[in-house]
Amino acid sequence: MTAIMKVLLLKEPRESENEEDPYIKELASYGHTATLIPVLSFKFVSLNELLERLFQPERFAGLIFTSPRAVEAVKMCLDSHTHTHKWDAVKDEWKAKSVYVVGKATASLVADLGLCPLGEETGTADSLSLLILQRENRESLPLFFPCGSIKREVLPTVLRNNRVPLETLTVYQTSEHPDLQNNITDYFTQQGIPASVAFFSPSGVTFCLDLLKRLSGSQLEQIKFAAIGPTTADALESHGLTVRCCAEKPTAKHLATAIARALQ
């Protein structure tokens, strides 16, 4: 019988408020109690420019989405009635083109738009860029990449170096969640030091680490740090921390399994 351990998840809450977060649910199935503290807040920008491009599919060879937020920006643009109508008119044109995605969450939101996502299994921008290189030819129209303000340059760099044309547009800005520092401090005051802390993005590491170090003091070494993927793991290691486990794929099931194993 494994002891019940506390796990702190530094991630974004689920889009749908009424469902339990899948990460909390998966960890509970191993008998661990997880608490979620939102790290980032998002602000959508340049939505008019985004809309303009969405209604001109003839300008592009396809689309790239590396985060659920970017797809949400598209959904926000299309939500008004007149635009939904116009979207139905161009949707088939986009369907005939490649729509590349990273990860399951992004893929299912893209499917909700009525498009067919490619690359769901890739899991990272690095491996998605390899898939794009295999499929796209260099002389084609540009791929359109709506992205966040803190995007890693891996994908644009790989495509540029291989002369695959790309047009990027920043459609959301990421900043630290206004209550982050208070929420983490309250957690440590009320719950004590967690057995494991899981990070979900390099920016999460940047925003939380100093405070975590201060609050855990000499017990920092006892915390088993977990990462959702290799990029986040690299960010933790670059700050001198030992990553005890990394999810094999960026899903709730894979991360919970990795954390449960590390806590045994």
pLDDT by residue (tens digit) across 173-213? Answer: 989 999 999 999 999 999 999 999 999 999 999 999 999 99
DSSP string over 62-75: EEEE-SHHHHHHHH
Other C-beta atoms within 10 Å of 147: how many? 22
Helix (H) or strand (E) holding 129: helix 125-135
DSSP string over 226-237: EESSHHHHHHHH
Question: What is the tens place of the pLDDT at every residue in 125-173?
Answer: 889 999 999 999 777 899 999 999 987 788 999 999 999 999 999 999 9
Question: What is the tens place of the pLDDT at every residue in 32-50?
Answer: 999 999 999 989 999 999 9
Contacts of 112 (CB under 8 A, 6+ apart): 75
For the sheet with 117-118, list strands across it: 40-44, 166-176, 143-148, 62-65, 98-101, 117-118
Q: Nearest-CA neighbor of 72 among 134, 16, 9, 122?
A: 16
What sign has the CA pseudo-torsion 234, 239, 245, 247?
negative
